[in-house]
Amino acid sequence: GQQLNQSPQSMFIQEGEDVSMNCTSSSIFNTWLWYKQDPGEGPVLLIALYKAGELTSNGRLTAQFGITRKDSFLNISASIPSDVGIYFCAGQGETSGSRLTFGEGTQLTVNP
Amino acid sequence: DTAVSQTPKYLVTQMGNDKSIKCEQNLGHDTMYWYKQDSKKFLKIMFSYNNKELIINETVPNRFSPKSPDKAHLNLHINSLELGDSAVYFCASSHLREFRTQYFGPGTRLTVL
């Protein structure tokens, strides 16, 4: 099956720092998504990307759909304590129909 | 008010038992999903139903049986529970044509002893 490699696995940063995480795939994806999961909760969609090269922002978050269609990155600027959580990339592959494949997640810790 | 709700939030049970998890959505979506999140936080699709019909059935032991009484509900029944079934199970929903935008429930943490 399709796999997404997400890195880094975890990050420990100071409040105010910028953060970057990325996701790569060995196959082409038609859609890239970024979710955040707070402790004890389900994932919440942050940003959806539908076209190669697309750059989309949601507040302090910016994500890009790689031009090769095999990667995506998420940046968080000026991090705050409530950014703590697990960030997942997810994608819909060319041959996966309505299935989403999720990355392994990036655990973000923000020190005040 | 809750968009996607699951019950129970926590479930602790013995090996060999049969248990059910319930999911309801009030978003008017026509498609619902069950995901399993393991101890390493890896999320994997198990099943998907569209208008009460099964459309995704991943390689899941047949001890897991989803049931959709109507398009707002998708329940998961698990027979003969095993230790390896311990995980967090998430329900999600979407419109089929907007399957990329899925709304997740709060999860059910299942612990099998």
Span A68-83, pLDDT tens digits? 999 999 999 999 999 9
pLDDT given for residue B100 in this prediction: 83
Q: What is the mean pLDDT of residues A80-90?
A: 96
Q: What is the mean pLDDT of residues B89-101?
A: 90
**How high does pLDDT run on average in chain A?**
93
**Per-residue pLDDT band at A2 (split at 50, 70, 90):** low
Determine the average pLDDT of the residues in B86-109. Answer: 92
Is the pLDDT at B1 greater than 70, yes or no? no
Inspect the interface and report whether the beta carbons of B45 and A100 lie closer than 8 Å.
yes
- Paired sense of beta strands A71-76 and A61-65, if any: antiparallel
Range B54-64 average pLDDT: 87
Q: Do B43 and A102 touch (CB under 8 A)?
A: yes
B60 to chain A, any CB pair closer than 8 A? The answer is no
Distance between CA atoms of A74 and A5, rounded to whole angstroms?
A: 14
Q: Which residue has the higher pLDDT, B98 or A7?
A: A7
Residues 6+ apart with CB under 8 A from B58: B44, B45, B46, B47
A1 pLDDT higher than 60 = no
- The residues near A63 (Cβ < 8 Å, ≥ 6 apart) are A32, A34, A46, A47, A49, A55, A56, A57, A72, A73, A74, A75
On the question of pLDDT at B59 being above 90, the answer is no
What's the CA gap between A60 and A20, in Å, rounded? Answer: 12
Of all residues in chain A, what percent carry a pLDDT higher than 90?
84
CB contact under 8 A, A102 and B104: no
Q: Is the pLDDT of residue A108 over 90?
A: yes
Indicate yes or no: CB of A41 within 8 angstroms of CB of B55: no
Contact across the interface for B100 and A48, Cβ inside 8 Å: yes
Q: Which residue is associated with the tokens 């943490």?
A: B109
> Residue B60 pLDDT more than 60?
yes
Mean pLDDT over A60-69 rounds to 96
Closest residue on chain A to B43 (Cα): A102
Give the residue from B77, B110, B101 showing the smallest Cα distance to B29.
Answer: B101
Find the chain A residues whose C-beta atoms sit closer than 8 A to any C-beta of B: 31, 33, 37, 40-45, 48, 50, 86, 88, 92, 97-100, 102, 104-105, 107
